[in-house]
Amino acid sequence: TQEKKKLAGMPKVELHLHLEGTLEPEMLLNLAENNSVSLPYRNVDAIRAAYRFADLQSFLNLYYLATQCLRKEQDFYSLTLAYLRHCRDENIAYTEMFFDPQTHLEHGVPLTVVMAGISAAQKEAEREWGVLSGLILCFERDRPAEGTIALLEEAERIGGIIGVGLDSAERDHPPGKFQETFAVARALGLHRVAHAGEEGPPEYITDALDTLFVERIDHGVRAIESPELLRRLREEQIPLTVCPFSNVSLGGFGSLQQHNVGRLLDAGLKVTINSDDPAYFGGYLTENIIATWEALGLSFEQAVQVQVNAIEGSFAEEQKKRDML
Ligand code: ES4
Ligand code: ZN
């Protein structure tokens, strides 16, 4: 339809995207071969067959297994450039990308290597295609907070991150453990976001706001359980980076038709739509937007509002935001 074409063609912004979650099966097999990492999968079909997840943890197990194949600067460069090429093809003008350095460090890959590869791809995508991007360093909440301040300081010495985030297994891992680390990030002038209310309770959303001083909530769909929190999120216009395909893939909602993003929009929240880990969850940003819009019967105006929210909720410079609006 005409409206569908307009949504696909309009300039877009993505605010919740894990670079490691863009690792497609074909690239994964290539990297495994090149880096002599043995995988329990022989071919693309076997990998795709493993993309059936019961919950967040079952997904993370596969996601972290696959990250073992990322070893060299070139690997991070190829991964990032392939995603940014998708952005060009989908008219995504600006994207803020997460990465998980602790996992790579555990595999013996230094932060300098990871960041050099990502940064080279970002520069190339901007130069060649005009696709702008920012990089957000995520801490994994199911690891100790110990060492995260040193990691943050090293990233600042290298340069190139615009903020910090908090991801990985949410259940039984409240945000408060990272209070000091996020305070340092804030003092350094870095932006702050956290996954909260994906599988965890609404209290984790409140805690992320009050103890980490986050500026956005990643996911946040369980806010629906607390009228008081809904009121706060609306009054303070805290952006939520909702990821519909991700939530359905990981069992948060039985189907796209049952997703609550329409209700969150109706409640006046500053909702954005994002792809999270598109290689694993069945589609990139445009597909998330169009399929959600169709499944929930959202209005065209609501779909456009979601993109205005993403521009306004982004950490782009004010002038760039005005250019995008
Ligand atoms: C993630 Cl979907 C999701 N949730 C939490 N942490 C993550 N890391 C990568 N994808
Ligand atoms: Zn995520």
Going by alpha carbons, the residue nearest to atom 6 of ligand 1 is 168
| 198 catalytically annotated | yes
| Ligand lying closest to the C-alpha of residue 16 | 2
Choosing among 3.30.2000.10, 3.40.50.150, 3.40.50.920, 3.20.20.140, the CATH entry for 2-324 is 3.20.20.140
Contacts of residue 182, Cβ cutoff 8 Å, sequence gap at least 6:
164, 192, 211, 212, 213, 214
Pocket probe for ligand 1: among 277, 280, 288, the residue whose CB has the most ligand atoms within 8 Å is 277
Question: Could you report the predicted ipTM of this complex, rounded to two decimals?
Answer: 0.98
If DSSP codes are grouped into helix, strand and coil, which group holds residue 92?
A: strand
Burial 88-98 (b: 16+ CB within 10 A, else e): eebebbbbbbb
Q: Give which of 104, 83, 113 is closest to 95, Cα–Cα.
A: 83
Q: What is the pLDDT along the chain (325 residues), one digit of tens a residue?
A: 899 999 999 999 999 999 999 999 999 999 999 999 999 999 999 999 999 999 999 999 999 999 999 999 999 999 999 999 999 999 999 999 999 999 999 999 999 999 999 999 999 999 999 999 999 999 999 999 999 999 999 999 999 999 999 999 999 999 999 999 999 999 999 999 999 999 999 999 999 999 999 999 999 999 999 999 999 999 999 999 999 999 999 999 999 999 999 999 999 999 999 999 999 999 999 999 999 999 999 999 999 999 999 999 999 999 999 999 8
Q: How far apart are CA 68 and CA 153, in angstroms?
A: 24
Q: CB neighbours of 22 closer than 8 A, spacing ≥ 6?
A: 79, 82, 83, 86, 277, 278, 279
Strand order in the sheet with 92-99: 12-18, 92-99, 132-140, 163-167, 191-196, 216-219, 239-242, 270-273
Assessment of whether the complete model's pTM goes beyond 0.95: yes
28 CA to centre of ligand 1 in angstroms: 18
Q: Give the side-chain half-sphere CA count within 13 A for 158.
A: 21
Question: What residue segments make up the domains of the chain, in order of their start?
Answer: 2-324
**For residue 69, what is the DSSP state?**
T
